[in-house]
Every structure is written in structure tokens, then in C-alpha cells.
Amino acid sequence: MELSRIVITGLGLTAPNGNNLAEFRRNLLQGVSGITMVDVRYMGRWPAGMCTFDPLRYQRKKDVRIGTRAGSISIYCAREALADSGIDLARRDLSRIGVFLGITEHGNVETENEVYNISQFKYDTKFWTHHHNPRTVANSPAGEVSLNLGTTGPAYTIGAACAAGNMGLIHAAQMLRLREVDFAFGGGVSESPQTFGIFAGFKSQNALASHADPTKASRPFDKARNGIVISEGGCIYTLERLEDAQARGAKIYGELAGYCVNSDATDYVLPNPERQAECVRRALANAGMTVDDIDIVNTHATSTPQGDIQECQAIAAVFRDRREPAAINNTKSFIGHAMGAAGALELAGNLPSFDDLVVHPTINVDDLDPQCDIPGLVLNRPRAIKRVDAILNNSFGMLGINSTLIIKRFPAHPTHP
């Protein structure tokens, strides 16, 4: 049976350097970082990426108070995506709408805060909030979206470490193809900077970025890179089967051409470039494409000394036989590592290239690491290219999870079907 073709028809986001796609894209092209210094409990000041969206745009004060930061991010992004899609929920079967959100971790913020709060009262649990349990269940962000929108179809999260943003889109596409839903929200969210534990964890691994100028702290591929900048954010897409989108005359951002998810089975933290390369190759095969069909490769590179090298090895291995180098960039240099939202946000930053044929750069590369010097890198300034028909988005995570997602132009360029 031929699989349904799946397209993106709406997009909503909040990132450290933008609260909608137009603002986000403009800042990527103008080299504007969203990283600032923040106070981290017990640890002092560290570079981080914080969002400035207005949660009260789509929520009541009471709901913001009862819910979670990740939930507010999710609701904002889902509402923005819904408006962008042009869908009127009042005319839809709400039981046929799904919400599938990737997350890295959830519940740590609420638990840390509650433990800290009761520590001020000699750990008397009568001061522990009765909202704690619904705040910390893993399906909370997607569930909060469902409550806000009134949708009654499946709504849950996909825990996939830092590959989660891609996984939200992949899972939404799968549910549409299975005809479990007719309209889907898919993407990823993160509230990671709200918890000191993730800062402490990366610091203990010698993987937490430090720099006197926070805007220069995230520097993938640069010889002086020294770790991850922890960020929050979200990006949620609306996805539909192609025939449904065309029937209602929807605007289409692109078509999901192929994807792959695999596992390293190697190490808790360290990536495996062979498995990463395998993931990319299988995504290409799934899409019926070759390396020559890909015009932009958005890297996962997190600005860690070893991780960037290993991903560059994987990309070089896959693309070495390409006739001309693909344009290769990185979005984390602007916004840090948005964890569960990373893959979805990084894809969004590149989608406008289908229209303007410009590739946003990786910034903060003052001294390129020779071990990251692979053909096609777009560094420090945007680059205009002749063709953008397909974008390949890498997103990898701890415990060895890898994901690659390929989005192609729709409709296809007449000379590049």
C-alpha cells in the first residue's frame, strides 16, 4: 500500500532570539544571538537561552500558575501554529486531532522547586503543592495543549533526549499515515534552563559552556568551543496528509520526504559517528534520495569538543561522493541547545530557504577546528545558493538515539522532481 504524503501546513515557535518564524529567521540571517547570562540556583551566573513570549496571550493567569513552563511554551507554539495553518477547530472532529510533542526531560523543574520550597519550612510536606503530580507526569506538555485547545484525540509526549524535536514530527507523520488522526500537532519543547540539575550535570561532565560574552558561548566547530549552552524553547508544526491540505487550499511549507531513527548501543553519553552516518543514509534511502538531492544539512553539533568532531566525521563519510558540497550550517550557535525543542527549532530556521535561497550561517567560528573542516560549511555570514529543494536535519541525543529528518520543497522544483 502506498504511504500517504505528509506536509507541513503551520508553524509556531518561541526561541531565545525570536517569538515567531519571521523574527527568528531575520535574526539568524543578521547574526543575532539570543544567549544571555542567567542566575542558576547554587551555581551563580551562566550563559543560557531564555524565551520572552507572553504566556498570557493564550492562557489565563490561573492556568499559568497551575501548569508548567513547558506547558506554556507548548500552548503558545501550538496556538501560533494553528493560527498559521488556517484550520478552524470549531469545524473539525476534535477526536481526530493528535498532539505529539518531543521532550528531553520533564518534571525536574517542578520537583527541584518544590524541594527547595519545603526546605525553607524544615521539609514539612504540608507546604508541598497539590499540583505537583499533574505537573510532573511525562505527558504534561501535550496534555496541557489538549486541555487548552479542547482536542480529544491522542495527546502525549515522546521522550527522545535531544533527538526529540525531530521525533515529534516523525511520530505525527506516522499517526497520520496510520489514519489514527486527520490533523496533527508535532514538534518539540524544552524548559531545561529552569532546573539547576542540568547545569550541574553538564558542568560535572566538563561539557557546560562558559564565556565572558554570553553571545559567543555557543560556538560549534570553533577550536575554542568548551561546551553546551542550555536553552529553552519550542517549535510545533501542524501536519496533514497532502490530499487533505490540498483540498482546503492550505499553504504548504514543505513535504516530509523521509526519516530515520536508530540507536548507537555504544555509550550513555558519547556519540557513535558510524551509527550517525547510518541514520543519515537510511533516511536518504527512505526518501528515495541520494546525497546529491540534499541542498542544506543542518547539524546537531552542540559545541562540545568531541561531539562536533564525531558528527563532522559522520557527515563527511556520507557526503564525500557528492559532486558539489551541500551547504552545512548550525542553529545552536545562535540559540544554544534547546534540548527537546532543538531539532524542531533548527528545522524551522532553515525552511524559509526554500523561498529565499539563502542559508543562515554558523556564527562564532573565529578559528575553525581542523577536525571539523568539512566541505560546505557556511560560517559567520549567510550564503546565497542556486537551489534549495531538500533540507536534511540531524538531531542526536544521549543513550545513543539518532534521528534524521528530510523535508523537501512542495511543489517540487520543475527541473528537480
Instruction: Return the HEC string of 98-165.
Output: EEEEEECCCCHHHHHHHHHHHHCCCCCHHHCCCCHHHHHCCCHHHHHHHHHHCCCCCEEEEECHHHHH
Which contiguous run of DSSP H or E holds residue 28?
helix 21-30
Q: Count CB neighbours of 366 within 10 A.
A: 12
C-alpha cell at 75: 500552548
Dist CA 59 CA 197 (whole Å): 28
Strand (E) positions, 15-74? Answer: 35-40, 44-49
Characterize the bridge pairing of strands 327-329 and 97-103.
unpaired
Give the active site residue among 106, 171, 211, 300.
Answer: 300
- 300 as an active site residue: the answer is yes
Dist CA 407 CA 281 (whole Å): 15
Please count the residues of the chain. Answer: 417
Percent helix, strand and coil across the chain, each to the nearest 5: 40, 25, 35
Helix axes 196-204, 108-119, angle to 10 degrees: 100
Dist CA 13 CA 404 (whole Å): 20
Q: What are 254's strand-pairing partners?
A: 8
Dist CA 166 CA 191 (whole Å): 17
Give the active site residue among 51, 162, 312, 372.
Answer: 162
Residue type at position 91: R
Q: What angle do CA 95, 97, 101 make, to 5 degrees?
A: 130
Q: Count CB neighbours of 15 within 10 A.
A: 32
With 0-12 / 13-18 / 19 or more C-beta atoms within 10 angstroms meaning exposed / middle / buried, residue 26 is: middle
Give the active site residue among 171, 211, 337, 360.
Answer: 337
Dist CA 417 CA 399 (whole Å): 37
Dist CA 176 CA 243 (whole Å): 12
Helix axes 69-85, 140-149, angle to 10 degrees: 50
Residue type at position 71: G
Dist CA 18 CA 349 (whole Å): 11
* Catalytic residue numbers, as ranges: 162, 300, 337
